[in-house]
Amino acid sequence: MENITFDTSIHSETRDQLREMELVYQSITSYQPAINTPPILDSSVDGHISHDSEHLSGLRPLSEAVKRDIDFIKQFLAGPDATFLPPPSTNAPYLIAVWKEVLSSPPPIIAIGKTFSVYPQNTSRAQGWKSMLAQPESSRAGKRRSTSVKVDVVADNGHSWIRVNTHNSRLLAEFREIDSYLTDSECEDGTDNGPSLARTEFDNSLLRMGRGLLAAAYDNPVLGTPPKVILRLTRIDPVATDGGENDLRIALTIELLREMGLSVELGERGAIMQRLNWVPAVPSPLALMPTHQINLDLSILIALVSDITHASLPKTMDAAYERFIPSASYVNWKRSSFHSKSDRSGDSTNAITRVTNDAVDSTQHSRALAEQLHQEMQKGLLQGFTSDKVLSVQFWTTLEARDRCLRIVDKIGGSAEKRRAHALFPTSPGDDSTSPVEQEAQYWKGSRYPLGFLPLLPIRVFPISESASPVLSQVGFFSALEVTCRTLLAAGGAPHPRAIPPTPESKMTGEDEIQRASVMRTNARLTAHTVQSMLCGAVRGWTTLTANRTSVRTMLREVKTRGSGVEARGRGTGAGNYAAVWIVDPRSLAEVMRSDVSDGPPA
């Protein structure tokens, strides 16, 4: 911070304010928020998934605002005319008060300066307050749009909202304006009744703020419960000190706010110096483990049958890249496939474009497969499942994940990948012609791992009737994840943005492409089957095993954004040290992409 010299004999209150602002800035730069890390077990090569909660939302803008005011005050005090000028007007009192709330409020702090929406169309206990929000009559008569309110500090894992008010000048100005209207009216009718305190007529900006905060709280519940709303009034004194009617109306305002259900706290917090070196206690990390039942999502089912998972490993990275150079037979198959479709549709120009684009895509896909093979060379997927924690578990999956896995493998998988998929999930589950012993042998046939290396079979499938039924009363993160999944699914799904509708010809021949999975209407980065899989694990308190890191990161964002919080390690009865989600590196179907396999592309 730039050093500026100024006369220390002038503007003593401003200099005191500057010193406190410098303490605030120092405190912000050294602040370490108490972070509840979600119970995510990451066994990928990188071994770490970044959590958005590690970065306190709004902290940087607050720090920048404090820095600007510090520089402004210093420039003022160093000016040649500072002695003759009145003290500058800054946001310092507000910024100081907000930071004191951050330090004093129950952790974890979720956000600073966060905006929440109020939806007029929603029905709730706050509906009466919504209809009374401060809006011009013309706006009320027009379209019913959502409004928003600002919360200065979101604390207690989202369960507490704090709004700071450091100015009583606006409120007093409103009272003076009311008094002037009353005085004008009294002059006309010759009466003098004094300022009216009738509750049917009494209203001001602070009451409107309170109604807006309550309406937003009911529209943005945390695990079904509206957050507690706290108003910190640092400069308003309800006790009459001058005998004026203004003080009576301030006291009435506070009384009405409390009757609404807000918690009103008066006065300023203690000095920043007392908490400058205070660091919130962060729970020590616990060693997470999977549950005794593991829920497998689609990405893991694909990984379990992938050629990359089972094939012998190359000795060098160059050999890994050479393995997935597209073979001539694969290139010819793709080209003939596109030309065949164009002949049926009569669009030869589009076919040429798709063949050109596919050549680029094939190169990128080959490199991605080589990278996955390199990860397998560093850390085998199945080897990560052979600890004592996994050897005695049961594996489960959803019906949709199973069916989609079989469709994908049948369409683009190689012969060995198809054999493994049908060994995991026999085409006719009720058919006893394939015994468990034969299934086991078919799955491990041709693998670099010995027969029975991992007790995968049988993989059980959730019955449709109870796939997402609440089996147990979950706590902590499992509960937050369940609420988030149900909220996403309740909003409905939508076709994938890049989905290609099947042509009439493809419907007749059955040669249509595998359609991209439908996505969540409120977040296109999450597929419906991914959310459904996570829900099936969350409602049971089971670990969901996935190779889809992007979806996990997106889901964590949803859990936090929707106010469900991120409870550390699922604390609570029965939660233990179990992971809610277990991440591994992906393994794609790769057999048909190998340049050293004579088995041609899919038929």
59-96 pLDDT, tens per residue? 999 999 999 999 999 988 888 887 888 888 899 999 99
Note whether residue 510 is domain-resident.
no
Note whether residue 76 is domain-resident.
yes
**Pick from 234, 249, 275: which residue ends a domain?**
275
Note whether residue 286 is domain-resident.
no
Note whether residue 417 is domain-resident.
yes
Question: How large is the average pLDDT for residues 295-309?
Answer: 97
Is the domain of 448 the same as that of 480?
A: yes
CB of 294 within 8 A of CB of 396? yes
Is the domain of 297 the same as that of 345?
A: yes
Is the domain of 266 the same as that of 303?
A: no
User: Starting from the edge strand earliest in sequence, which strands make up the sheet with 228-233, in order?
Assistant: 111-118, 147-155, 160-165, 228-233, 263-266
Is the domain of 270 the same as that of 368?
A: no
Range of the domain at 385: 293-429+436-496+516-591
CA distance 253 to 492: 43
**Pick from 275, 304, 325: which residue ends a domain?**
275
Determine if residue 117 is left, alpha or beta; phi over 0 gives left, psi from -120 to 50 gives alpha, anything else beta: beta
Is the domain of 60 the same as that of 147?
A: yes
Residue 497 pLDDT grade (very low, low, confident, very high; cuts 50, 70, 90) = low
pLDDT at position 105 over 80: yes
Is the domain of 557 the same as that of 482?
A: yes
- Of the listed ranges 129-138, 434-443, 516-525, the one predicted with least confidence: 129-138
Q: Which pLDDT score is estimated for 393?
A: 85
Note whether residue 5 is domain-resident.
no
Q: Which pLDDT score is estimated for 153?
A: 95
Residue 573 pLDDT grade (very low, low, confident, very high; cuts 50, 70, 90) = very low
How many CA atoms lie less than 13 Å away from 215 in the CB half-sphere?
26
Q: Which pLDDT score is estimated for 402?
A: 95
Distances (CA, A) of 75 to 7, 16, 89, 397, 537: 12, 15, 13, 65, 59
Is the domain of 263 the same as that of 166?
A: yes
Is the domain of 397 the same as that of 328?
A: yes
Q: Which pLDDT score is estimated for 559?
A: 85
Is the domain of 104 the same as that of 251?
A: yes
CA distance 542 to 295: 7
- 180-200 residue pLDDT tens: 655 555 555 555 555 444 444
Is the domain of 260 the same as that of 366?
A: no
CA distance 109 to 153: 7
Q: 3-state class of 258 per DSSP?
A: helix
Note whether residue 387 is domain-resident.
yes
**Pick from 246, 275, 304: which residue ends a domain?**
275
CA distance 159 to 229: 9
Note whether residue 288 is domain-resident.
no
Is the domain of 350 the same as that of 393?
A: yes
Is the domain of 260 the same as that of 318?
A: no
Q: How many domains does the chain have?
A: 2
Note whether residue 488 is domain-resident.
yes
